[in-house]
Amino acid sequence: MQLETTLFIAPDHPAFAGHFPGTPIVPGVVLLDAVIHAALQTGRPRASGDAGDTTSLCQISAAKFLSPVGPGETLTLLLTSGASGSTRFDVSSGQRKVATGALVLPSAP
């Protein structure tokens, strides 16, 4: 299964206040958060428990940040489910790849 979605990083995003003043860039954790939330929307089975707290059950098995993301950029998130239960992700700004990696989503018991 493959999912593609977009993410707009607003120039007034609160993460820019301290990361970094004068030369703001999006923290990697903001990108990873967007990837995890997009992956959870794929409809794959999840572990039982509080459906609102499944992000704590995700495992990021690899993440590489390739290029900084600035205020006002629109990103494309491409997620591809693998046979082993992992999900590969690529985050791009136009033709420029900014992050890549893999995560493992919780599965139903």
Residue 37 is among the residues annotated as catalytic for this protein = no
Its pTM stands at 0.85
Active-site position among 19, 37, 44, 88: 19
Q: Measure the CA–CA gap between 43 and 57, rounded to whole angstroms.
A: 16
> Which of 2-16, 54-68, 88-102 bottoms out in mean pLDDT, i.e. has the lowest?
54-68
pLDDT at 30 over 50: yes
At 83, the pLDDT band (50, 70, 90 cuts) reads confident
Distance CA 45, CA 4 (A): 19
Strands (E), the chain: 2-8, 59-65, 74-81, 86-93, 96-104
